[in-house]
Structure 1
Amino acid sequence: MLISEFTPKQFAISVLVTAMLAGCASAPKKPSAPPPVVTKPTSVKPKLTQASPPTYRVKAGETLYSISLRFDKDYRELARINDLDEKFTIYVDQQLRLDTADADTPVPNTVTATKPVITTNKPLVAKPLKDPKESVASTTTIKKPSETIIKNTPSVGSNVQATVKGGSLTWGWPVTGQLLKQFSREGVGSKGIDIAGKRGDIVKASADGVVVYAGEGLVGYGKLIILRHNDEYITAYAHNDRLIASEGQRVKIGQNIAELGSTGTDRDKLHFEIRYKGKPIDPLTILPN
């Protein structure tokens, strides 16, 4: 059909439809909605160590030294802020101040003690060991542990002694065996070193000192021996099967103080710590190579 055959009405309708189609084709598309914003919660890693409480109530069997070990405190500072006597005498249920910031405010004590329940610094009188033969430092190398020890770990322990630089202490290894775990300031149970052994292996004093704690009242340490060597250094020997030395006993370097075991842990080993002014230090920096 020729265009001349369109009537005026048909022509007008054709123009209108064409205009509408062109308008639809040129109409802008609506912008798509932006993707939803999802805010993920920030991951906060839990602290591996907890701050010590401002005060602590003494439990049966504890000494000032075991409490200072638990909270990484200097026992001399605890004695000072709690106004303890020169023997560091404390009592069951006594509330000890741990935070020096509270030292000016007395802590109320509800305990009326007529006689000391715990004496943490008994007179330094040397006592004979249960077996006199055990009081002599042995020069025999302790047998190596079984093949269940983790491979490719260094063997530590020696009869060689070393003098601490700038001090008068002479140090030796408490046991001989494979090093299972090294020192770390982070985490639980890493404030010293773990040395493998067999149940009954002899644990020796690492330096001259006095036994200031012998018991199993400190959670996670099993049967524990703590030695005070001078005003600055103490050592801890944990997870023993049997304690040979007793509180108040003076011991020499290399003297038998315990038998290695697995109390408070999952295998036979010695957990050994050295504290300097209450703070843990790496024993490998002190013990002879």
Structure 2
Amino acid sequence: MSTGSKWAGWRRIAVCLTLGLLLAGCSGKNTYNRDYDKLPKGSYTGKSYTVKRGDTLYYIAWITDSEVSDLARINKIRPPYNLEVGQKLRLSGSAPTKTAATRRKASSAAIAKQTPPPGAARCWRWPTSGRIVQAYSNSDGGNKGIDIAGKRGQPIYASAKGKVVYVGNQLRGYGNLIMIKHGEDFITAYAHNDTTLVRNGQDVKAGQKIGTMGSTGTDSVFLHFQIRYRATALDPQRYLPPQGSSPSC
């Protein structure tokens, strides 16, 4: 083979490699763009759920899009909502009370009209600092919170005072997840933590460090943060103060 032919062959190989890398880059997914509500929500099926180790009633309500009060009523569970591994919970089979149904309908209507539900304007704090790489969306399969980019090990703080009701990594796609209950109607969630610094049942103060930012359950370092009113996800940016400032209340 002549020298010219060899160089022509190497040029063709180089062009192919370059195109291959470009195509791979173009086809790579946006690791921040996570359709969380399309991810598997647990191992439950039908109208019942079998309690597993680490489950709490708040976690089960979260993954089944139910209200804690409805699950407690249907299954006759009293506060503090203790569960046993292997216990089978009914998710339906008993129609919600008119009060619960009306409450859910009113809540959905309020969110659709961008009217804050009662108590939504409480003193929420930013759970961490950083650029928002994906905003909230109320569309089907949309992002039901906000994704905040940062550095691995960056502190994560409780957005308001409350009680930790779940710490674990059972929900695929969320990595190490922390859920905090604020009163009876609100829950905040903090996903993809590198480390978790709180335990189930622990009372936390607003601004208390509860974990560190990581990439568990995803491919990039960021925090997925949600505020939920009963079973309805709210847009956190509507209730958080400007980044870098403290709540005015």
Q: TM-score, normalised by structure 2?
A: 0.67
The 1-side partners of 2:128 and 2:172 are apart by: 23
The 2-side partners of 1:220 and 1:187 are apart by: 18
TM-fit CA distance, 1:50:
9.3
Conservation of the 8 A alpha-carbon contact between 1:197 and 1:269: yes
Aligned pair 1:219/2:212, yes or no?
Answer: no
Conservation of the 8 A alpha-carbon contact between 1:66 and 1:218: no
Conservation of the 8 A alpha-carbon contact between 2:160 and 2:206: yes
Which of 228, 231, 235 is the matching residue for 1:278? 231
Gaps of 5+ in 1: 1-46, 105-163
The 2-side partners of 1:219 and 1:191 are apart by: 16
Aligned pair 1:228/2:221, yes or no?
Answer: no
Q: TM-score, normalised by structure 1?
A: 0.58
The 2-side partners of 1:82 and 1:210 are apart by: 23
The 3-state SS of whatever aligns with 1:91 is coil
Aligned pair 1:200/2:153, yes or no?
Answer: yes
> Identity rate of aligned residues, in percent?
45
Which of 59, 84, 108 is the matching residue for 1:91? 84
TM-fit CA distance, 1:199:
0.7
TM-fit CA distance, 1:76:
1.7
The number of residues matched between the two structures is 184
Runs of at least 4 residues of structure 1 off by over 6 A?
A: 49-52
Is the alpha carbon distance of 1:62 and 1:188 closer, same or farther for their aligned partners in structure 2, counting shifts above 3 Å? farther
My pick for the range that moved more, 188-197 or 174-183, is 188-197
Is the alpha carbon distance of 1:260 and 1:50 closer, same or farther for their aligned partners in structure 2, counting shifts above 3 Å? closer
TM-fit CA distance, 1:206:
0.3
Conservation of the 8 A alpha-carbon contact between 2:39 and 2:172: no
The 1-side partners of 2:130 and 2:91 are apart by: 37
The 1-side partners of 2:40 and 2:168 are apart by: 24
* Structure 1 segment 74-223 matched on structure 2, within 5 A: 74-99=67-92, 101=94, 166-167=118-119, 169-186=122-139, 188=141, 190-223=143-176
Is the alpha carbon distance of 1:283 and 1:103 closer, same or farther for their aligned partners in structure 2, counting shifts above 3 Å? closer
The 2-side partners of 1:100 and 1:74 are apart by: 15
TM-fit CA distance, 1:48:
5.6
Conservation of the 8 A alpha-carbon contact between 2:48 and 2:90: yes
Larger relative contact order (CA 8 Å, sep ≥ 6):
2
| Greater helix content | 2
My pick for the range that moved more, 85-94 or 266-275, is 85-94
My pick for the range that moved more, 233-242 or 88-97, is 88-97
Conservation of the 8 A alpha-carbon contact between 2:136 and 2:145: yes
RMSD: 2.6
Name the residue aligned to 1:148. Answer: none
Deviations 1:75-106 (A, max 9, x none): 122111111121111122222111254679xx
Which of 56, 63, 66 is the matching residue for 1:63? 56
Which of 191, 198, 205 is the matching residue for 1:238? 191
Is the alpha carbon distance of 1:210 and 1:67 closer, same or farther for their aligned partners in structure 2, counting shifts above 3 Å? same
Larger Rg: 1
